[in-house]
Amino acid sequence: MSDSIWKKEITFRRKPKAPKEPKPAKEPKQPKQQAKEPHKAREVVGLRIGSSQLAAARIANNGHAELQQLARVDLERGVVVNGEVRDADALTRALKSFFASNKLPKGAVRLGIASNRIGVRTLDVPAIDDPAQFENAIRFRAQELLPIPVTEAILDHVVLRESAGEDGELVRTVLLVFAHRELVDRYVDACRGAGVRLAGIDLDAFALLRAVAVPRLDSEEATRALVAIAVGQERTVFAVSDGRVGDFVRVLEWGGQTLDVAIARTLDLTPSQAQPYKHHLSLSADTAPAGISRLQLEAIKAAIRTEIAALGRELISSLRFYQSRPESLAIGEVLLSGGAAQMPGFAEELRIALGAPVRVADPLMRVTLGKKVQAPEDAGRFAVAIGLGIEEK
C-alpha cells in the first residue's frame, strides 16, 4: 500500500518587453560548457514501529541504495500491541522524541505495518482496458474473498500476469493487499501528530523480502520459493516469494517474548527479569551467563528448543497451505532475521524443525554503507526498516 503525495508546480511568465534598437554585432563568444547537475538521490526513511522498539533506516536511492543512518530506541510496552496502536498519544510523543534526538528527516517516511488484520490474496480479474472499470472489477471480486466489508478496508494491488481464461478471454492475475482502515488510520494519525510525513505505507513482509534477497531477473525461471522470516518481540512475520513477488504472507503470534516466558518459568522469574539472560545465551555453546548454573543452563536450552520447535510447526502448517495452492513452488532457502533470531544456534534449531536450509540473513546485502555508517552487530533488528527505505529501480 502506498500513499502518493503529489505537488503541482506552476511556472509564471512575465509579459515580454518591447524590443530595443539593435546594437552593433560583436564577435561571437565561444559557448561555455555547462556542467550537468548530478541526479539528486531520493532519500527515504524506513520506519518500523514494533511492540518493543522504533527502528529507522535513512537511505538515499540513486540507482543504488546507500544507507546513511540507522537509529533505534525502546518503545514503552502497551503502546503497540499485536501490530495495532493502542495508545496513539504515547506513540506520537515517542515518534517526536525519536526523530528529534536522532535528527531524522520527517519529509519522506515509509511506514511498515504487520498485523493479522492485514492480508494478501491472489485473484483473477477480466483484463479491462479502462483503469476505472478495472479497479471496480477488483473491488467487486474482493467483496467475495475478503473477511471484512470492502468499505472498511484499504486496498492496493499489483498485476502479476495476463493470460487467457477457460473461455479464451484475457484475464489478469492480481495480487491484492488489504488492511482494516481503522488499523491504518491509527498509525497515520500518530505520525501526523508527530509531524512525520508519510510517503508510503508497506507491509513488513514485503519490506523484509526487499532487504534480504536480490530480485530474480525476468529472464530467470522461478524454480523454488524463497522464505523470509523476521522474529519480533511479539510476532513473527514471514513471507514466501517466487524471487520477484511475495504472494504469501503470515503473521504468527510467536516472538522473542515467548523465549522470555520459557526462561522465566525455568528460573522462577518474571519475563522482564528473564529477558537479559536471553541476550547472553547460546544454544550452540556450553558457556553459561553469569548467575546461571550448568544445570539451569541445560534446562533453559531445553525449554527454548521446545518453543522453537513449536514455531517450526506453525511455519510448516502455513507453508503446507501455501503449497496446496495452484502454481506454488517447492520451498528453497529460509532467510532468518529479527532480534531473537540472532541467538547463536537459533537458525540450526529452526532448520531441524523445518527440515529445510535456514541461514541468518544479511539485511545490509542490498545497500552500501555511507561514510558515517558502521555495520551494527544487531543488524537483524533493522531488516524491515532497511527494506522500507529501499526503492526498487
Out of 58-72, 96-110, 164-178, 336-350, least confident range: 164-178
> What residues make up the domain containing 226?
220-360
Question: What is the arithmetic mean of pLDDT over 325-331?
Answer: 89
Would residue 344 count as lying in a domain?
Answer: yes
Helix and strand totals (H; E) in the chain: 9, 16
Give the closest residue to 155 by CA, choosing from 144, 145, 142: 142
Would residue 31 count as lying in a domain?
Answer: no
309: left (phi over 0), alpha (psi -120 to 50) or beta: alpha
Would residue 236 count as lying in a domain?
Answer: yes
Question: What is the arithmetic mean of pLDDT over 251-264?
Answer: 95
Residue position matching grid coordinates 494478501: 120
The number of distinct structural domains making up the chain is: 1
Helix (H) or strand (E) holding 231: strand 224-231
Out of 1-10, 231-240, 356-365, 370-379, least confident range: 1-10
Rounded distance between C-alpha atoms, residue 109 and residue 28, angstroms? 50
Highest mean pLDDT among 240-244, 290-294, 298-302: 298-302
Residue 103 has pLDDT above 50, yes or no: yes
Question: What is the arithmetic mean of pLDDT over 103-132?
Answer: 93
Average pLDDT, rounded, for the chain = 88
Would residue 284 count as lying in a domain?
Answer: yes
Is the distance from CB of 54 to CB of 70 less than 8 angstroms? no
Residue 196 has pLDDT above 50, yes or no: yes
Would residue 254 count as lying in a domain?
Answer: yes
Would residue 346 count as lying in a domain?
Answer: yes
Between 329 and 4, the more confident residue is 329
Give the closest residue to 203 by CA, choosing from 237, 241, 236: 237
Would residue 147 count as lying in a domain?
Answer: no
Q: Which three cell numbers stand for residue 340?
A: 531473537
CATH at 312: 3.30.420.40
Do the bridges between strand 198-203 and strand 109-113 make them parallel or antiparallel, or are there none, so unpaired? parallel
pLDDT band at 34 (very low <50, low <70, confident <90, very high): low
Would residue 158 count as lying in a domain?
Answer: no
Is the distance from CB of 234 to CB of 81 less than 8 angstroms? yes
Question: What is the arithmetic mean of pLDDT over 89-106?
Answer: 98
Rounded distance between C-alpha atoms, residue 113 and residue 198, angstroms? 13
Burial code (b: 16+ CB inside 10 Å, e: under 16) for 92-103 equals bbbbeebbeebe
